[in-house]
Amino acid sequence: MSGNYARLEAVQQITNGKKYQTSKPKSLKKIWACDVFNLAKMEEALAKKTFKAIKKCIKTGDAIDAETAEAVAAAMKEWAMSKGVKFFSHVFYPMTGVTAEKHDGFIIADSDGNMVTEFPGSLLIKGEPDGSSFPNGGLRVTNSARGYTAWDPTSPAYIMQTDNGSTLCIPTTFMSWKGHALDKKIPLLRSNAAMNKAGTKVLSLMGETEIAPLNSSCGAEQEYFLVDANFAAARPDLLITGRTLFGKSPAKGQEFDDHYFGAIPERVQVYMQDVEDQLYRLGIPAKTHHNEVAPAQFEIAPYFEAANVAADHQQLLMTIFKLTAKRHGFVCLLHEKPFAGINGSGKHVNWSVGNSTQGNLLDPGSTPAENLNFLLFCGAVIRGVHLHGPLLRVAAASAGNDHRLGANEAPPAIFSVYLGAQLEGIYDSIKEGNLDDASEVSIMDLGLSQIPTFVKDSGDRNRTSPFAFTGNRFEFRAVGSEQSVAGPLITMNTMLADSLNWIAAKLETELASGSDKTTAVVAVLKDLMANHGQAVFGGDGYSAEWHKEAVEERGLANLPTTADALPALKSDIVKELFASTGVLTAEELASRFEVYAEVYILKIETEAKIMIDMAKTMIYPAATRYMSDLAATAAGMRELGVDFDSTILNAVADLTNDMTTAVSQLGDLLAEENHGSEEDHMQFCATKLLSTMDAIRTAADALEVEIADDLWPLPSYHEMLNIK
Summarize as ranges the residues that interact with ligand ADP (CB under 6 A).
217-219, 221, 288, 301-304, 348, 350-352, 360, 472-473
From 83-91, 347-355, 422-430, 500-508, give the range in contact with Mg ion by CB under 5 A: 347-355
CB 173 within 8 A of CB 588: no
Three-state SS for 195?
A: helix
Q: Which amino acid is at 570?
A: K
Task: Report how far residue 717's alpha carbon sits from residue 258's, in angstroms, rounded to the nearest whole number.
Answer: 17
Please state, in angstroms and rounded to a whole number, the distance separating the CA atoms of residues 337 and 404.
7
Min CB(355)–ligand ADP separation in Å: 13
Closest to ligand ADP by CB, 360 vs 534, is: 360
Nearer to ligand ADP, 304 or 542 (CB): 304
CA distances from 534 to 405, 443, 469 (A): 21, 31, 16
The least distance separating ligand ADP from the CB of residue 305, rounded to whole angstroms, comes to: 8
**Does 526 contact Mg ion by CB under 5 A?**
no
CB of 211 to ligand ADP, least distance (A): 19
Which letter does DSSP use for residue 460 in this model?
-
* Interatomic CA distance for residues 632 and 461, integer angstroms: 60
Shortest distance in whole angstroms from residue 352 CB to ligand ADP: 3
Q: What is the largest CA-CA distance in the chain?
A: 104
Q: Which is nearer to Mg ion, 478 or 521 (CB)?
A: 478
**The entry of Mg ion, ligand ADP, none that residue 256 binds, CB within 5 to 8 Å by partner kind:** none
User: Which is nearer to ligand ADP, 482 or 594 (by Cβ)?
Assistant: 482
> How many CA atoms are closer than 13 Å to the CA of 590, on its beta-carbon side?
7
- How far, CA to CA in Å, does 133 sit from each of 76, 319, 532, 590, 591? 29, 20, 43, 19, 15
Helices and strands, number each (H, E), in the chain: 24, 20
Neighbours of 561 (CB within 10 A): 22
Closest-CB residue for Mg ion? 348
Phi and psi of 332, rounded to 5°?
-95, 120
Q: Which is nearer to Mg ion, 313 or 348 (CB)?
A: 348
| Contact present, 75 and 119 (Cβ < 8 Å) | no
CB of 275 to Mg ion, least distance (A): 20
> In angstroms, what is the minimal distance from the CB of 537 to ligand ADP?
19
CB of 607 to Mg ion, least distance (A): 29
CA-CA distances (angstroms) from residue 408 to 54, 204, 540? 50, 44, 11
Site for Mg ion in 323-342 (CB under 5 A): none
Contact between 183 and 94 under an 8 Å Cβ cutoff? The reply is yes
DSSP 709: G
What is the rounded CA–CA span in Å between residue 498 and residue 488? 15
360 binds, among Mg ion, ligand ADP, none (CB under 5 to 8 A by kind): ligand ADP
Q: Is 185 in the site for Mg ion (CB under 5 A)?
A: no
User: For Mg ion, which is the closer residue by CB, 89 or 352?
Assistant: 352
Q: Is 348 in the site for Mg ion (CB under 5 A)?
A: yes
657 binds, among ligand ADP, Mg ion, none (CB under 5 to 8 A by kind): none
Instruction: Please state, in angstroms and rounded to a whole number, the distance separating the CA atoms of residues 350 and 321.
Output: 20
Q: Which of ligand ADP, Mg ion, none has residue 472 at its interface (CB below 5 to 8 Å by kind)? A: ligand ADP
User: What does 531 bind: Mg ion, ligand ADP, none (CB cut-off 5 to 8 Å by kind)?
Assistant: none
Task: Work out how close the CB of 219 gets to ligand ADP at its nearest, in angstroms, rounded to a whole number.
Answer: 2
* Contact characters 212-251, Mg ion, x per CB under 5 A: ---------x------------------------------
319 binds, among Mg ion, ligand ADP, none (CB under 5 to 8 A by kind): none
Q: Which is nearer to Mg ion, 430 or 478 (CB)?
A: 478
- Minimal distance, residue 301 CB to ligand ADP, in Å: 4
Minimum distance of ligand ADP from residue 354's CB (angstroms): 7
Determine the Cα–Cα distance for residues 134 and 687; give it in Å rounded to an integer.
Answer: 28
Q: Which does 538 bind (CB under 5 to 8 A by kind): ligand ADP, Mg ion, none?
A: none
* Helix or strand holding residue 273 (H, E): helix 266-281
Residue among 306 and 711 whose Cβ is closer to ligand ADP: 306
Whole-angstrom Cα distance, residue 279 to residue 254? 30
Residue 288 binding: pick among ligand ADP, Mg ion, none (C-beta 5-8 Å cut-off by kind): ligand ADP
The residue among 183 and 292 lying less far from Mg ion, judged by its C-beta, is 292
- Classify the C-alpha dihedral 707-713-718-719 as positive or negative: positive
CA 216, CA 78: separation in Å to the nearest integer?
33
What are the residues binding Mg ion (CB under 5 A)? 221, 348
